[in-house]
Amino acid sequence: MKRRPFAKQLKTFILKTRRSKNAAPTSPFYAMVQKEFTDYIRSWRIIILLSLILLTTGASLYASISALHDLATDEENNGELFDQAYLLLKLFTLSDGTLPSFVAFVTFLGPLLGIALGFDAINAEQNRGTLTRLLAQPIPRDYVINAKFVAALFVNVLLFFTLGLSVMGLGILITGIPPTFEEVLRIFAFLFLCIVYIAFWLNVSILFSVRFKQATTSAISALAIWLFFSLFYQIIVNVIAKNIIKPESAASSEEWIGKQEMILNMMRLSPNYLFTESTTTLLSPSVRSLGPLTMEQTAGAIVTPLPLNQSLLLIWPHITGLIAATSICFAIAYIWFMRQDIRTN
């Protein structure tokens, strides 16, 4: 299906709105966001990705329910009571081994969705020659990049809150156990973290879309960054850790712990690792620390789940880091776009 030029669609939408006598004045920015949101929903590549995410969500939910059933059966056969605490959170993290969990699917497919939404946000309009006609309209220039980001963010918010609430509702129907208020808050915090994580990759792809004129180049560049942090960065850090962390060469336990913390800080430069560590802490209240501990620190500690506020304190630097990285990528793309010399081809 052939798409009409952006400027023509925007002008048609505003004219239709103004024809109604009782209609309130329409903001150009709102019209641009609505137009971009509609284009994203109707795009075949987004439809395919959304379908893939829906299928994997259903598969991960089936795998987690199977794992819960097997776990309950084993404990009953051993004469133990099945622990029903935080049962709804386990639907997002457990797996029976045949398929990854919901969190693992989001970690892998989430960046692909963000890259697919933004890799041709600017250069596609520029190559079609519609960007110059759009900027000739009496609207601020930054409306273009802001509208594209906000529309793509709306798609992510709609998708992940729908998926999260669907998993929650199906989990309640299948297990018959209502969630606690803390479980609901933890799930909403997890969904917010998913949106921030995908917004980072969305801004990375928009950045390359502004920088490169060809959509294929921007897509390959964004995918290369994703592959580097998903695969190669952890390999590099593991090689460094193998040469640095040697228990026999450590003069004391404090020196060994210091080296462990240095490696952890290196791993936390990866957005994938930040997201994984944050979601593990949010969805597993039994996680009480994100770093190495000494015997003196663990002596006398009572093994109990952490409350939500303490879990948020543990991952607050991770959330701040992801938001900061997202803001930096968008700021660079915004400055480049505002300074870009856009002329008719």
- The per-residue pLDDT for range 59-92, each reduced to its tens digit, is 888 888 887 777 767 655 565 545 566 778 888 8
Between 132 and 111, where is the model more confident? 111
More confident residue, 20 or 182: 182
pLDDT score of 336 more than 80? yes
Distance, CA of 143 to CA of 241 (rounded, Å) = 46
Q: Which of 296, 294, 301 is nearest to 256 (CA)?
A: 294
How deeply is 223 buried, as exposed, middle or buried, from its count of CB atoms within 10 A (0-12, 13-18, 19+)? middle
Give the SS3 label for residue 198.
helix
Integer CA distances (angstroms), 70 to 95, 105, 172, 261, in order:
11, 22, 18, 37
pLDDT above 70 coverage of the chain, percent: 80
pLDDT tens digits along 223-249: 999 999 988 898 888 888 777 766 555
Backbone torsions φ then ψ of 296, nearest 5 degrees: -65, -35
Select the more confidently predicted residue: 19 or 265. 265
Gap between the Cα atoms of 271 and 229, Å rounded = 7
Q: How many CA atoms lie within 13 A of 208 on its CB side?
A: 25
Top mean-pLDDT range of 130-144, 210-224, 238-252, 298-312: 210-224
Tokens found for residue 120? 């041709």
| Terminal alpha carbon distance of the chain | 24
pLDDT score for 20: 47
Q: Pick the residue with more confidence: 6 or 198?
A: 198
How many residues are present in the chain? 345
Handedness of CA 121, 122, 128, 133 (dihedral sign): positive
Q: What is the pLDDT of residue 307?
A: 85
- Please list the alpha-helical segments (H only) found in 212-341: 215-227, 233-244, 253-267, 271-283, 295-298, 308-339
Could you read off the pLDDT of 169-193 as tens digits, one per residue? Answer: 888 888 777 888 888 899 999 999 9
**Long-range CB contacts for residues 172-177, cutoff 8 Å, separation at least 24:** 172/88, 174/65, 175/68, 175/87, 175/88, 177/84, 177/87, 177/88
Contact 249, 255 (CB under 8 A): no
Query: Does the pLDDT value for residue 344 go beyond 60?
Result: no
Report the pLDDT value the prediction gives residue 326, as an integer from 0 to 100: 93
| 8 Å CB contact between 185 and 308 | yes
Residue 334 pLDDT grade (very low, low, confident, very high; cuts 50, 70, 90): very high
Specify the pLDDT at position 49. 82
CB 65 within 8 A of CB 176: no
Average pLDDT of the chain?
Answer: 80
Nearest to 51 by CA among 61, 41, 66: 41
List, for residues 87-112, the tens digit of each pLDDT value: 788 888 887 777 788 888 888 888 98
How far is 258 from 244, CA to CA, in rounded Å? 11
pLDDT: which is higher, 98 or 329: 329
Q: In this structure, are residues 141 and 341 in contact, taking their beta carbons and an 8 Å threshold?
A: no
DSSP 116-137: HHHTTTTHHHHHHTHHHHHHTS
**Model pTM score:** 0.83
Which band of pLDDT confidence, cut at 50, 70 and 90, is reported for residue 329? very high
**Contact present, 322 and 199 (Cβ < 8 Å):** no
Least confident of 80-89, 283-292, 296-305: 296-305
